[in-house]
Amino acid sequence: MRFLYVVGTRPNFVKTAPVIGAMRERLPEARHTIVHTGQHYDRLMSEVFLAELGVPEPDFMLEVGSGSHAAQTARVMERLEPVLAAERPDLAIVPGDVNSTLAAALTAVKMGIPVAHIESGLRSFDLTMPEEVNRIVADRFATHLFLHSEEAIENLRAEGIGEERMHFVGNTMIDTLVALEERFRAAGAAARLGVEPGGFALVTLHRPALVDGPLLPETVAQLAALARQMPVVFPVHPRTRKMMEGIESDHPGLSLVEPLGYLDFLSLLADAGAVLTDSGGIQEETTYLGVPCFTLRDNTERPVTVRAGTNTLLGLDPAAIATIPKALANRPPAPTDPPALWDGKASQRIADLLAK
Ligand code: UD1
């Protein structure tokens, strides 16, 4: 049997690393080929992550880099096609919802190669998000859909997807978190950045709806105000860094830092008093860790994190950042149980199913 994994961005690595590990262990005789599209390419966005996650050196580097949606998607398709033609995998495995996911799923299905989609069935019901389009396409064409939460079942049913393609396995991102727990708990990133565990806010923002338009200057002003009440650590995504050029960001208590390695990031996440984000994965990681998360978006494709009580949707409204200190003060105790099957074993379930 031949399995081929296509990854391209930082969150893809986190979601796929444990699946590759479990598959290699479960099916040691099979051929496991890793393709890195190169959608993320900075050392801090790619190499550092792959090394910390123990992902073997990719067999193919497509080096597509940045571009418009059409250009990036097309480049992945053009460069992946000859790899699939040469490798002829029995299954192409794609994670998440980024442009590399869409491109890989389309290329494989058009070549008659079955596709498995990790993190299937999430829906924000907001077609202005590029990720929503990517998810719908990947799910429509995948043969095996690996679901990370129960609400995905209803979403997929509503799109007419048959139950026989759905496998509720749990969250592979949480597998990575569980596997790294001992190491990130010992990483001590807060102390290195000069903030007290439990007493600072950690911020990540990178979605086009927030950072590519007029909301960014107001967001930075609100972060400066928050930083007067509690120190704010903000590792800045390259997209956001570019858009912040010309915005005054030197404010007391507000530390803008380079993107962090995953161990340092998880160390900060676990120690944060509050997290402000527009990321999908961070809504999940904070739910598992029981850390209060405030999501600066109008919707979430991960309502399970809101139901769990850790995640609050603030809306796509920078002014809502001002409500965080009060919300923290009035917050009920953190829940103790993570969502169903967020237990560190999702990748093993995937490997067991595929081995059959
Ligand atoms: C992509 C995904 C998004 C995911 C995010 C995680 C799509 C449509 N978006 O967004 O769903 O949440 O990854 O981080 O696939 N850049 C660099 N170095 C890099 C990568 C990017 O400088 O290594 C800069 C470039 O200016 C680039 C911009 O960031 O144009 C955006 O990169 P891109 O991969 O297109 O989208 P992300 O915003 O990273």
Whose Cα sits closest to atom 21 in ligand 1? 40
**How many residues are there in the chain?**
356
CB 76 within 8 A of CB 67: no
Ligand 1: which of 39, 204, 240 to mutate, judged by most atoms within 8 Å of the beta carbon?
39
Check if 76 has its Cβ closer than 6 Å to any atom of ligand 1. no
Residue 39: the pLDDT is 98
Catalytic, out of 69, 206, 237, 251: 206
* CB distance 98 to ligand 1 below 6 Å: yes
The response to whether residue 42 sits with its C-beta less than 6 Å from ligand 1 reads: yes
pLDDT of residue 235: 98
pTM: 0.97
Q: Which residues contact residue 75 at a Cβ distance below 8 angstroms, ignoring those fewer than 6 apart?
A: 62, 64, 65, 67
Residue whose Cα lies nearest atom 35 of ligand 1: it is 66
| Residue nearest (by alpha carbon) to ligand 1 atom 13 | 9
Pocket lining: 209 vs ligand 1, CB cutoff 6 Å:
no
Pocket test for ligand 1, best of 66, 69, 77, 131 (most atoms within 8 A of CB): 66
Nearest-atom number in ligand 1 for the CA of 99 is 15
Q: Taking the CA atoms of the chain, what radius of gyration do you get in angstroms?
A: 20
The pLDDT tens digits along the chain (356 residues) read 999 999 999 999 999 999 999 999 999 999 999 999 999 999 999 999 999 999 999 999 999 999 999 999 999 999 999 999 999 999 999 999 999 999 999 999 999 999 999 999 999 999 999 999 999 999 999 999 999 999 999 999 999 999 999 999 999 999 999 999 999 999 999 999 999 999 999 999 999 999 999 999 999 999 999 999 999 999 999 999 999 999 999 999 999 999 999 999 999 999 999 999 999 999 999 999 999 999 999 999 999 999 999 999 999 999 999 999 999 999 888 777 999 999 999 999 999 999 99
Q: What is residue 334's predicted lDDT score, i.e. its pLDDT?
A: 75
Q: Measured between alpha carbons, how far is 49 from 340 in angstroms, rounded to an integer?
A: 27
- In the chain, the N- to C-terminal Cα span, in Å, equals 12
> For residue 270, what are the contacts with CB-CB under 8 A and spacing of at least 6?
184, 185, 289, 291
Strand order in the sheet with 293-295: 254-257, 232-235, 201-204, 274-277, 293-295, 311-313
